[in-house]
Structure 1
Amino acid sequence: MDAWWKISLLLCCFGVLKEFRPSEPFVTKYFNNPPVNFSIEVINEQIYPVGTYANMVLLVIIFLVTDYLRYKPIIILQGVSGIIVYIMIIVCRDVWAVQLLEVFYGLFMACDVAYYTYTYAKVDKSHYQTVTGHTRAAYLIGRAISGIVSQVLISSDSISYYGLNFFTLGG
C-alpha cells in the first residue's frame, strides 16, 4: 500500500470519528431542558456568542501555529479539545462553565485547519484530488451516521438528550 493511501485512510477514519457527534443537533434542546435548564435567551445571548468569537480568534492563532508545529500536535489538540467539550457538556451546569466549554468548542472547530491541510503537506500533488475526495467523503459519512443515529434514538425515545452526550463522547 502506498504511503499516500495510508495517510488518506488514517485521516478518513479520524474524520468519520471526529464528525460522529450525535448530540450536536440537539445541544440547544439539551441546554434548554433538565438537567441544565437555561432559557433560550441565555443560550442565544450569553453562551453561543462565546463559541463563535472564540472560534474566530482561535482560528487565526491555530492557522499561524499549525505550520510551526507541523500538523500532528494540532490534530491531537483537536481530539483532546473534543473530549474536553463533551465531558464538560455532561458535567457543567453554570453559565460561566458552559461559556468555557464554548471556548474549547471554538478550539475544536478551529483545529479543523490542521486536519484538512495535513493531507496536502504529506501527499504528492498528483493525488490531491483523490485524497480531497476521501477526506470530504469521510466528513460527510461521519455527519450522516451521526444524524441518523441521533434522530433514530431521539425519535424512538430510546435515549434522552443527556444520554446522547455519552454517545458523542464515546465517538
Structure 2
Amino acid sequence: MSLLYPTLLMCVYGFFSSLRPSEPFLTAYLMGPDKNLTETQGLIAMQLLEFFFGLATASEVAYYSYIYSIVETEHYQRVTGYCRSITLFGSAAGSLTGQLMLSVGKVQQRHLVIVTLTSAAAAFVAPWFLPMPMRSLFFHKGCGVAEETLNSSRSIMKRTQDSESEEPLNSQDTSMLAMASEVGNHRTGLVEVFRMLFDDFLQCYRQRTLLAWSLWWALATCGYLQVINYAQPLWEKVRPSQEYEIYNGYVEMLSTLLGAVAALLVSYLPICWAVWGELALCVLSLLMAVCIFVMDTLKNIWLCYGSYIVFRATYMLLITVATYQVAASLNMQRYALVFGVNTFVALLLQSLLTVAVVDSAGLGLDVFTQFLIYGGYFTLVSGVFLLAGLCKLASSRRSKHDALPGSQTESESPPASDPGSCI
C-alpha cells in the first residue's frame, strides 16, 4: 500500500501534465482568428512560454527522481516504467483529443486551450498529496553527520553545565553562544553540501562512457527541442491552417506512440552499446538530420509529417539508451545530479541557439533557413560521434594488438572495458 499510493499520485500527475490538446495546434491558434497574430508578433508572450517551458522541463528531473527516495530499490524499474508509460500515454491522448475535437466536434481552437488549462490544474493538485521523503536522494550520509553533530552538541551542553558551578553564564552569553553555534553549523553544512556535489560531479564526468552519452544527451536534446518547438510554424508555411484542414494532432499522437514502442524495443536490440555506441549515435543522428532536411527542402506536408514522426521516434529510442547507459555508470544517489546537469546544459544551448538563429537580436532567420541550420547542426553532431567511434575502435584494436606478444596469462585475461553494457 505504501508503494501504491505515491505511484498512483505520480501517474495522475504524469498523465494530466502531459494531456495538452492545444499543443499540436498552438501556432494555428495564435495565427488564427482567435489571436490573429503574425509570425513575428507575440514575441514577448512566446519568450514567457519558453521560460515556463524551461521550468516545466526542469521539474521533470524531480518527477523521475522523487520516486527513488520513496520506494525501495527493488521497485525502481517497475515504478519508473509506470511513470514513463503513463506520461507518454497522456501526451498521445492529449494529441488525439485535440484532433478529434477539431475534426469531429468542430469546436473552436480556444476550447482546446481551456481543456489544457483544466488538465494542468488537475496535475497541480496531485503532488500536494504526495508523502514527503524520509531520506535525501543525494545525501544519505547526512544521517551520520546529523548524529555526529547531535553528539557534539550534547557534549558541549554537558561541558557548559559542568562549568556553570565554577563560572555561571548570564542569559545573554548563553543566547549568543547558541546563535553562533547555529550559524556555524548552517554554514558548515552548506559548504559540505556544495563540496559533496562538486566532488560527485567531477567523479561522474571523469568516466568516458558517461561523458560521451551525456554529451549526446545535451546536444541532441537542444536540437530536438528546437525542431519540435518550430515544426508547427514550418507546417503552417507548407499548409496554412486557414485554407486546409490540418492533422497535427494525429501526427503528434503517432510520433509519441511510435517513440514509446521504440523505447520498449531498446532492450531487444542486439547491439553492444559499450562497443558500438558512438557509431550508432553517429548513424541515427545523421538519420535525424536527413529527416530535418526533408521537412525543410521538399515542402510537402505529408513528407513533413512522416519525417517528423521518424525524427521523434529516433530521438525517443536514443534518449532511452542514453538514460540507460548513464544510469549504468552511476549509483542511485547521483541520478538526479547527472540528469539535471545534462538537462540544464541542453536548455542553455537551446537558449543560445534561439537567440542566435530565431531572435531578432541575432540573425532573425525565416523558418525554412532555421531548419536548414538545424539539419546542419545534427550533421555536425553525427560527425563528432563518427570521429569518437573511429577513435574508440582504433584504440580497441591497438590494445588487442599490443596484448598479442604478451604472456599466456596476459592473453587469457579478459581486457578491461568501459562501464557500459551490451543489451
Pick aligned residue for 2:260 from 56, 63, 80? 56
Larger RCO: Structure 1 or Structure 2 (Cα < 8 Å, ≥ 6 residues apart)? Answer: 1
Map 1:21-170 onto structure 2 (within 5 A): 21=223, 22-33=226-237, 36-39=238-241, 41-65=245-269, 68-71=270-273, 72=277, 74-105=280-311, 106-121=313-328, 123-125=329-331, 128-129=334-335, 130-153=337-360, 158-170=364-376
Question: 1:114 and 1:7 mapped to 2: Cα distance?
Answer: 12
C-alpha distance 44-140 of structure 1, shift in aligned 2 (>3 A): same
Q: What is the rounded CA distance, in whole Å, between the counterparts of 1:124 and 1:47 in structure 2?
A: 36
- Deviation string, structure 1 residues 71-125 (Cα, Å, up to 9, x no partner): 316534541332122121112333432232133122223321011221223x253
Gaps of 5+ in 2: 1-201, 378-423
TM-score norm. by structure 1 comes to: 0.73
Matched residue count: 165
Q: Which runs of 4+ in 1 moved over 6 A?
A: none
- Distance in 1 between the 2:342 and 2:363 partners? 33
| Gap change, CA 1:32 and 1:43, over 3 Å in 2 | farther
Q: How many angstroms does 1:38 deviate by? A: 4.5
> C-alpha distance in 1, partners of 2:355/2:323?
24
Matched residue of 1:42: which SS?
coil
Assess, with a 3 A threshold, how the Cα gap between structure 1 residues 50 and 125 changes in structure 2: closer, same or farther. Answer: closer
Kindly indicate whether the alpha-carbon contact (under 8 Å) linking 1:62 and 1:113 is maintained by their aligned counterparts in 2.
yes
TM-score (norm 2): 0.34
C-alpha distance 169-126 of structure 1, shift in aligned 2 (>3 A): same
CA spacing shift, 1:149–1:2, aligned 2, 3 Å: same
C-alpha distance in 2 between matches for 1:158 and 1:144: 14
Q: Which runs of structure 2 are paired with 1:2-17 in the superposition (5 Å)?
A: 5=206, 6-17=208-219
Over the aligned positions, Cα root-mean-square deviation in angstroms equals 3.2
* Superposed displacement of residue 70, structure 1: 3.2
C-alpha distance 144-157 of structure 1, shift in aligned 2 (>3 A): closer
Q: Distance in 1 between matches of 2:283 and 2:319?
A: 10
Larger radius of gyration: 2
**Alignment-mate amino acid for residue 61 of structure 1:** L
The percentage of counterpart residues that share the same residue type is 9
**Deviation at residue 167 of structure 1 after TM alignment:** 1.8
In 1, the alpha carbon distance for the partners of 2:262 and 2:233 equals 27
Find the aligned partners of 1:124 and 1:49 in 2 and give their Cα distance: 33
Contact persistence 1:58–1:107 (CA under 8 A): yes
Are the structure 2 counterparts of residues 75 and 127 from structure 1 closer, same or farther at C-alpha, using a change threshold of 3 Å?
A: farther
TM superposition shift of 1:45: 4.3
